[in-house]
Amino acid sequence: MARQCEVCGKGPQIGNSVTIRGKRKYLGGVGTKITGITRRQFKPNLQRVRISTPNGTHKSALVCTQCLRSGTITKVVRQAPFQVPTQPAAAAS
């Protein structure tokens, strides 16, 4: 199985790693030079989270952080949030 988001399908992308030497001209140097270009992989930031599916079941999935932040998925609520008990007005006297 590839390391990709189970919601949007985002996976690793290929790019370049550029190595630069030298002091910049505005800092008093003679300028920067590119000394090497090698291929590299940009990997997505995947998190394993428990999500609730549309049919009501829960499952564990690898999801990218953009899907988590955008609200595309709904995480499983493990415990109901605390609520302050309210008393009726007649019982308060």
pLDDT tens for residues 9-26?
A: 999 999 999 999 999 999
Main-chain phi, psi angles of 16, to 5 degrees? -115, 145
For 7, residues 6+ apart whose C-beta sits below 8 A from its C-beta are: 61, 63, 64, 67, 72, 73
pLDDT value of residue 80: 77
User: Is the predicted pLDDT of residue 92 greater than 60, yes or no?
Assistant: no
Residue-wise pLDDT for 25-62, tens only, equals: 999 999 999 999 999 999 999 999 999 888 888 999 99
User: Is the predicted pLDDT of residue 82 greater than 70, yes or no?
Assistant: yes
User: Is the predicted pLDDT of residue 67 greater than 80, yes or no?
Assistant: yes
Percent of the chain with pLDDT over 90: 66
